[in-house]
Amino acid sequence: MTMNTLKILAVDDEPGMLSGIERSLVNYTLRLPAPAGEVNFRVRTAATGREAVAAITAEPPDILLLDYKLPDITGLEVLRRTAEAAGEMLTVIITAYASIETAIAATREGAYDFLTKPFTPADLKHAVRKAAGSILLARRAKALEAEKKRVRFEFIRVLGHELKAPLNAVSGALFILRDRTLGGDLDQYGEVVSRSLARIGQMKKLISDLLEMTRLESGKKERTLEDVDLAAAAREAIELSAWEAERLGITLRLDGPEKLVVRADRGEIAMIYNNLVSNAVKYNRPDGRVEISLARRGPRVSIAVSDTGIGIPPEGIEKLFGEFVRLKDKRTKDVLGSGLGLSILKRLVELYDGRIEVESEPGRGSTFTVHLSAGEE
Ligand code: ADP
C-alpha cells in the first residue's frame, strides 16, 4: 500500500487552536481507496500573517489551514502575497463568521474550502480528508498525463529507429545498382534486390501493424461480428504460413473439432492466428513442429499454438506483450519482426473478453493459449 505524506501549515493567532489542530492531525492516518492509499500529515504552525507568508514562501504546504482574522494582515492578504509561491496548495479558510462576503472574497483569492469556528476534531478531519482526496486525485491525473506523453514519445522514437535501418539498407542497395558496383551484368544484383525487397516487406509490416494498433487503441476499429468457423480460419492461417514453414522445414498441424463456430470479426480472428502461427514458425528450430489445438468449454473457446522452438526465459514472458518488445537472442537476430505482433494480439483478445496464457521452456518450445468468449450461440 502506498503511503503519502501531505504537508499542512496551520495559521492562527490562538495558541490553543494551533495545538488542537496539531494534536488532531499528527497521528491521523487517512485511508483512501486505491491507488491513493494511506495518507498522513506533517503539521507546521504560524501565529501571524507575516509568519505564514514567510513559511509558505520558504516551502509551500499541500494544505493551508488559514484563520481569516489575524493580528497583523488578513488571511486574504496572506493568500494574495503568496499567490505565486503557493503552487498547488489548497487553502481551507477558518472563520468565526462565515458570511457570504468573506466566502466570495476568499474563493476569489483561490480558497478551496471553509471551516467555521468553533469546530470539532471530526469537522477538521472531514475538511482535511476532502482536501487530501482532491490533491491526490489531481496528482494522479498529472502522472497519467505524463505517462501518456512518455508512451507517445517512445512510440515515435522507436518507430523512427525501426525505419531507419531498413531504409539505409535499401538506399545502400540502390547506390550499388546506380553505380554498377558489381559490374554491368544485371544478374549480379539479384541478391541485393531480394534483400532490399525483404527490408521493404519489413517496413510495410511495421506500418500495417502500427495502423492496426492505432485503430485498436483509439477504439475506432470497425468490427463486423458474424459466425466464424475457428477450424476453417486455422486452416487458412496454416496455408498462409505454409511457404515460410516449408522453407524452414517446419510441419504445421491442426488438432480439434472439424468445425467450431463463434461470433467474431473474421479479420480479427485471422490476425490472432497469424500473429501466433507466424511467431511459432519464426522462433522455431529447423525441422521443428507447430501444433494448433482448438477446444470449446461451455461459452468459452481456446486456441493453443505450440512450437518446438527456442522458448522464452521466465523473465521475458512478462515483457513480451509490450509495444516494440523483441527479446534479444543470437538465434533470432536475422528474424524479421516489428515487436508489435503480441501487443496487437493482447488488445484483440481483450475485445473478446479473453486472456492469454504463455507456457514456455527455454530450448524446448512454447505454447501460447488464447481463451476467448464464443459470443452468443
Ligand atoms: P515480432 O515477432 O515482430 O518481433 P511479437 O510481438 O510477435 O513481435 O513478439 C515479441 C517477441 O516475443 C519476439 O521478438 C520474440 O522475441 C518473442 N516471441 C514471440 N513468440 C515467440 C515464440 N513462439 N517462441 C519464442 N519467442 C517468441
pLDDT surpasses 80 at 336: no
Over residues 283-295, the mean pLDDT reads 97
Q: What integer pLDDT is reported at residue 33 of this predicted model?
A: 81
pLDDT digits (tens, 9 = 90+) for 79-123: 999 999 988 999 999 987 767 777 788 888 889 999 988 899 999
Q: What integer pLDDT is reported at residue 1 of this predicted model?
A: 62
Over residues 274-281, the mean pLDDT reads 96
Residues 114 and 237 in one domain: no
Q: Does any domain span residue 170?
A: no
Q: Looking at ligand 1, which residue's alpha carbon is closest to its atom 3?
A: 337
| Percent of the chain clearing pLDDT 70 (strictly above) | 99
Domain boundary pick from 120, 145, 170: 145
Q: Does any domain span residue 28?
A: yes
Q: Which of 320, 324, 366 to mutate to test the pocket of ligand 1 (most atoms within 8 A of CB)?
A: 320
Please work out whether the CB of residue 306 comes within 6 Å of at least one atom of ligand 1.
no
pLDDT surpasses 90 at 155: no
Over residues 229-242, the mean pLDDT reads 95
Rg of the Cα trace of the chain? 32
Mean pLDDT of the chain: 91
Ligand 1 atom closest to the Cα of residue 284 is: 24
Cell numbers found for residue 35: 491507488
pLDDT surpasses 60 at 316: yes
More confident residue, 151 or 300: 300
Identify the band that residue 156 occupies on the pLDDT scale cut at 50, 70 and 90: confident
| Percent of the chain clearing pLDDT 90 (strictly above) | 68
Q: Which of 230-239, 316-325, 340-349 has the highest mean pLDDT?
A: 230-239
pLDDT surpasses 60 at 189: yes
Q: Does any domain span residue 165?
A: no
pLDDT surpasses 70 at 339: yes
Tracing cell 477450424 back to the chain, one arrives at: 231
Q: Which of 162, 279, 315 to mutate to test the pocket of ligand 1 (most atoms within 8 A of CB)?
A: 279
Q: Does any domain span residue 131?
A: yes
Residues 9 and 132 in one domain: yes
Which CATH number characterizes residue 252's domain? 3.30.565.10
What's the sign of the alpha-carbon dihedral 282, 284, 287, 288?
negative
Q: Which helix (H) or strand (E) holds 283?
A: none
Q: Looking at ligand 1, which residue's alpha carbon is closest to its atom 11?
A: 326
Q: What integer pLDDT is reported at residue 281 of this predicted model?
A: 96
The structural domain count of the chain equals 2
Domain boundary pick from 101, 123, 145: 145
Over residues 291-307, the mean pLDDT reads 96
- Residue 276 is part of which domain span? 224-373
Tracing cell 508489435 back to the chain, one arrives at: 340
Q: Among candidates 50, 63, 53, 58, which has minimal Cα distance to 10?
A: 63
How close is the Cα of 32 to the center of ligand 1, in Å?
A: 40
Q: Among candidates 141, 138, 106, 112, which has minimal Cα distance to 127?
A: 112
The DSSP 8-state label assigned to residue 151 in this structure reads H
Please work out whether the CB of residue 280 comes within 6 Å of at least one atom of ligand 1.
yes
pLDDT digits (tens, 9 = 90+) for 12-71: 999 999 999 999 999 999 998 877 789 999 999 999 999 999 999 999 999 999 998 899
pLDDT surpasses 70 at 351: yes
Which CATH number characterizes residue 41's domain? 3.40.50.2300
Domain boundary pick from 145, 165, 186: 145
**Measured distance CA(343)–CA(324) in Å, rounded:** 8
pLDDT surpasses 70 at 300: yes
In the chain the beta strands, taken as DSSP E runs, fall at: 3-11, 29-32, 37-46, 63-67, 90-95, 111-116, 225-229, 251-255, 261-265, 289-297, 300-307, 355-361, 365-373
